């Protein structure tokens, strides 16, 4: 499949079919992440594959928030609500928990910034696009309780979490491009050729 086709085919899926993701597809997704570029090729990314009922039950724990109106609004169309909680879980059969090892990153000598979050984000993006090429749906999850995740998953001290990818076959009644999706700004608002500010402009 042409890369542009994969790029456009990937849309956020927030309702998954109760069907496991095959092992060979999981391996291909992990392999796509493995070949990502990382700063100085340090490969600080750490991916925790969660696909057993026990592991997924933990995800349900740390992706849940109290039944506050602001969370309910976020979850309006696609989420499950139960017992005074909103679960941002979406029935995913496979969750890739993406982190990086703080001790293995490159540090920018001028700014002192670690490359870890950028590296892990690139890896997650590769994996997401590979999932799309395998006809799997996915959603990028930033919104979860990181402290709870650390405890429940017993993460090593040096791991810094970045995001989760929920991956699976879209549910039969899944509707794409709901809740913020679909629309893209025109290139003229986000891309600039050779200069951004007018010549002589102070700001
Ligand atoms: C960095 C990042 C964080 C995101 N966090 C969440 C999240 O916590 N929960 C969620 O349901 N979607 C999350 N999303 C999905 C975005 O809302 C979605 O990609 C965006 O609305 C565009 O829709 P599309 O992916 O269907 O094109 C996140 C996406 C990115 C890139």
pLDDT of residue 179: 65
Report which ligand 1 atom has the smallest distance to the Cα of 177.
26
CA 100 – CA 118 distance, rounded (Å): 10
User: For residue 165, which of 40, 54, 12 has the smallest C-alpha distance?
Assistant: 12
CA 106 – CA 119 distance, rounded (Å): 10
Largest CA distance in the chain: 61
pLDDT at 85 over 90: no
Q: Which two tokens stand for residue 113?
A: 């910034």
pLDDT digits (tens, 9 = 90+) for 38-83: 999 999 999 999 999 999 999 999 998 766 666 566 555 445 555 5
| Residue 44 · residue 116 · CB < 8 Å | yes
pLDDT of residue 78: 46
Domain range annotation of the chain: 3-190
3-190 fold: NADH Oxidase (3.40.109)
Angle at 52 between CA 49 and CA 56, to 5 degrees: 80
**Residue 73 dihedral angles phi and psi, to the nearest 5°:** -60, -40
Q: Which two tokens stand for residue 2?
A: 């042409």
Q: How far is the CA of 67 from the centre of ligand 1 (A)?
A: 21
Residues 7-19 have a mean pLDDT of 93
| Residue 126 · residue 33 · CB < 8 Å | yes
pTM of the model: 0.92
Q: Which of 7, 9, 12 to mutate to test the pocket of ligand 1 (most atoms within 8 A of CB)?
A: 12
pLDDT at 26 over 90: yes
CA 71 – CA 87 distance, rounded (Å): 9
């Amino acid at each position: 499949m042409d890369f542009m086709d994969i790029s456009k085919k990937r849309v956020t899926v927030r309702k998954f079919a109760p069907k496991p993701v095959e092992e060979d597809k999981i391996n291909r997704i992990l392999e796509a992440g493995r070949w990502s570029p990382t700063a100085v090729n340090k490969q600080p990314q750490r991916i925790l594959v969660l696909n057993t009922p026990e592991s997924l039950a933990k995800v349900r724990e740390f992706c849940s928030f109290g039944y506050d109106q602001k969370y309910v609004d976020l979850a309006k169309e696609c989420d499950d609500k139960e017992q005074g909680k909103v679960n941002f879980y979406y029935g995913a059969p496979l969750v890739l928990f993406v982190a990086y090892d703080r001790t293995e990153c490159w540090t920018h000598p001028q700014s002192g910034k670690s490359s870890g979050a950028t590296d892990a984000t690139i890896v997650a993006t590769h994996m997401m696009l590979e999932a799309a090429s395998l006809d799997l749906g996915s959603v990028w999850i930033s919104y979860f309780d990181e402290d709870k995740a650390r405890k429940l998953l017993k993460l090593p001290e040096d791991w810094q979490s970045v995001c989760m990818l929920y991956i699976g076959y879209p549910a039969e009644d899944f509707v794409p491009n709901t809740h913020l999706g679909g629309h893209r700004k025109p290139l003229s608002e986000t891309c600039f050729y050779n200069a951004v500010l007018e010549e002589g402009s102070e700001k």
